[in-house]
């Protein structure tokens, strides 16, 4: 077993005889192997990656720290392993199994005198391991961020009146992939005008007009790791209300960043942004949390919300992204992705944040 698998095995052994992992992200995290299907069985002594014929050769070459088993009958292969390990209780990834898959696994386990433990126990164990990034993980996140910013800089040159949102989103994706991205972190958000009041608006046929705010919420993936950044630009001109809202969001974002350091509570960081926005008179216009962790998933622990009592630790990668959204008018969000350090943070986003009128 590799180090991550050894640690997982140790933590699982306190609560069960084995763990069965099926999510793409967690299989990749523990074995380094990328596939769209596969079962990682971790017992007290061994880790087995069960894959079908399509992945057998690649898994043998690439998977780290586990024995690769190519199955023709999952039921037989999994059953034999569980039987020979003498495992009676198997933790399942609660967030990854569908009801149908869990029923199928239960019927296999039942035949071999074992049973599953469902719920969030295994998810919590894995989340705790993934929440602090290794330097190799952070490097991949930084690379994804650099690809994103380079593509954004080239795309901004194309912004002018009459250009469609979805053409800009497409161009950005193309440039990211050409720049070395595996793909996009999520469907890129490029929205304009009154649509910017929708935090997750979808790029469409709307064309840019003078006086618009244009929101870019964008990210690329690199070797499985995501990046995430939001910038809001103005086109041609801005009015006083737009300026005031933009300045309020930027101040809130800076205050939240100032609150980031190892030992800070996520809820304190959220409050630093939220209190500022509410005191400026925009209570009710900031309806999402201040940020989230980023890694193999675009949204993962820790969650920087008012309800989170998670303590920030050095090595966590989080976003800080307050916003103000005024329905029917416009919205502003500014998002940076940072690495938490003992006494502060390293900002992975370099794109300027002062209001830019394109
Ligand atoms: Mn985000």
The tokens for 310 are: 């998670």
Tell which residue, 195, 158, 205, 240, has the closest CA to residue 332. 195
pLDDT at site 186: 98
Query: Could you tell me the distance, in angstroms and rounded to a whole number, from the CA of residue 212 to the centre of ligand 1?
Result: 22
Query: What's the CA-to-centroid distance between 32 and ligand 1, angstroms?
Result: 25
Q: In Å, what is the CA distance from 36 to each residue of 29, 98, 295?
A: 14, 15, 18
DSSP 185-252: SSS-EEEEGGGGGSTT----S-B--TT-EEEEEE-EEETTEE--EEEEEE-S---HHHHHHHHHHHHH
The answer to whether 288 touches 199, Cβ cutoff 8 Å, is: yes
- Extents of the domains making up the chain: 3-130, 135-347
Distance 64 CA to ligand 1 centre (A): 31
Q: How much distance in Å is there from the Cα of 335 to the middle of ligand 1? A: 7
DSSP three-state, residue 162:
coil
Q: Residue 257 — left, alpha, or beta (φ > 0 → left; ψ -120 to 50 → alpha)?
A: alpha
Residue 50 bridge partners (DSSP): 39, 69
Output the CA 50–ligand 1 centroid distance in Å.
34
Ligand 1 centroid distance, CA of 319 (Å) = 6
223 CA to centre of ligand 1 in angstroms: 19
60-106 tens-digit pLDDT: 999 999 999 999 999 999 999 999 999 999 999 999 999 999 999 99
Instruction: Tell me, in angstroms, the distance from the centre of ligand 1 to residue 54's CA.
Output: 35
CATH architecture assigned to 3-130: 3-Layer(aba) Sandwich (3.40)
Whole-number percent of the chain with pLDDT over 90: 99
At residue 353, φ and ψ (nearest 5 deg) are: -115, -10
CATH number for domain 135-347, candidates 3.40.50.1100, 3.40.50.720, 3.40.309.10, 3.90.230.10 = 3.90.230.10
CA 81 to ligand 1 center in whole angstroms: 41
Judged by DSSP in three states, 70 sits in strand
For the chain, the average pLDDT equals 97
Q: What is the pLDDT of residue 12?
A: 97
For ligand 1, the distance from its centroid to the CA atom of residue 59, given in whole angstroms, is: 32
* pLDDT beneath 70: ranges in the chain: none
CA neighbor of 273 nearest in space, from 299, 251, 293: 251
Q: What percent of the chain has pLDDT over 70?
A: 100
Q: How much is the pTM?
A: 0.95
Give residue 149 CA to ligand 1 midpoint distance, Å. Answer: 15
Ligand 1 centroid to residue 132 C-alpha, Å: 18
Calculate how far, in angstroms, residue 228's C-alpha sits from the geometric centre of ligand 1: 5
Distance 6 CA to ligand 1 centre (A): 32
The CA distance from 22 to 153, in Å, is 38
pLDDT at 298: 98
Residue 105: count other Cβ atoms within 10 Å of its Cβ. Answer: 23
Q: Say whether 139 sits in a helix, a strand or coil.
A: helix
User: Whole-angstrom Cα distance, residue 301 to residue 315?
Assistant: 13
Tell the residue number behind the tokens 């008012």, with chain if given. 306
Find the 51 Cα to ligand 1 centroid distance in Å.
33
Separation of CA 292 and ligand 1 centre (Å)? 7
Give the pLDDT score at 48: 98
Measured in angstroms, how far is the CA atom of residue 60 from the centroid of ligand 1? 36
Q: How far is the CA of 291 from the centre of ligand 1 (A)?
A: 6
* Distance between Cα 83 and ligand 1 center (Å): 44
Q: How much distance in Å is there from the Cα of 324 to the middle of ligand 1?
A: 15
For residue 34, count CB atoms less than 10 angstroms from its CB and return exposed for 0-12, middle for 13-18, buried for 19 or more: middle
- With residue 47 as reference, give the H or E element that holds it: strand 47-51
Bridge partners (DSSP) listed for residue 226: 221
């Amino acid at each position: 077993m590799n180090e991550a698998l050894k640690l997982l095995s140790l933590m699982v052994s306190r609560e069960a005889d084995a763990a069965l992992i099926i999510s793409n992200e967690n299989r990749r995290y523990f074995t380094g192997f990328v596939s769209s299907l596969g079962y990682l069985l971790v017992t007290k002594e061994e880790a087995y990656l069960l894959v079908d014929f399509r992945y057998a050769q690649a898994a043998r070459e690439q998977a780290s720290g586990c024995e690769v088993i190519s199955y023709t009958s999952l039921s037989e292969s999994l059953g034999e392993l569980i039987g020979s390990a003498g495992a009676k209780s198997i933790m399942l990834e609660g967030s990854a199994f569908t009801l149908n898959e869990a029923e199928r696994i239960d019927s296999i386990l039942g035949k071999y005198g074992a049973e599953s433990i469902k719920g969030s126990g295994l998810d919590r164990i894995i989340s705790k391991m993934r929440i602090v990034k290794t330097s190799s993980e952070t490097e991949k996140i930084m690379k994804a961020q650099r690809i994103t910013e380079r593509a954004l800089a080239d795309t901004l040159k194309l912004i002018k009146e009459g250009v469609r949102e979805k053409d800009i989103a497409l161009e950005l994706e193309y440039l990211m992939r050409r720049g070395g991205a595996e793909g996009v972190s999520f469907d890129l958000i490029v929205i304009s005008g009154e649509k910017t009041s929708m935090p997750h608006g979808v790029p469409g046929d709307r064309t840019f007009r003078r006086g618009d705010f244009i929101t870019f919420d964008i990210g690329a993936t690199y070797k499985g790791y995501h990046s995430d950044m939001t910038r809001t630009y103005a086109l041609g001109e801005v009015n006083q209300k737009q300026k005031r809202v933009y300045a309020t969001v930027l101040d809130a974002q800076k205050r939240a960043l100032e609150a980031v350091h190892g030992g800070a509570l996520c809820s304190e960081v959220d409050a630093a942004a939220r209190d500022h926005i509410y005191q400026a008179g925009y209570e009710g216009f900031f309806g999402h949390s201040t940020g989230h962790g980023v890694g193999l998933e675009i949204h993962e622990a820790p969650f920087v919300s008012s309800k989170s009592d998670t303590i920030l630790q050095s090595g966590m990668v989080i976003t800080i992204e307050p916003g103000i959204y005024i329905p029917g008018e416009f919205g502003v969000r500014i998002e940076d992705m940072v690495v938490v350090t003992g006494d502060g943070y390293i900002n992975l986003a370099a794109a300027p944040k002062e209001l830019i009128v394109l």
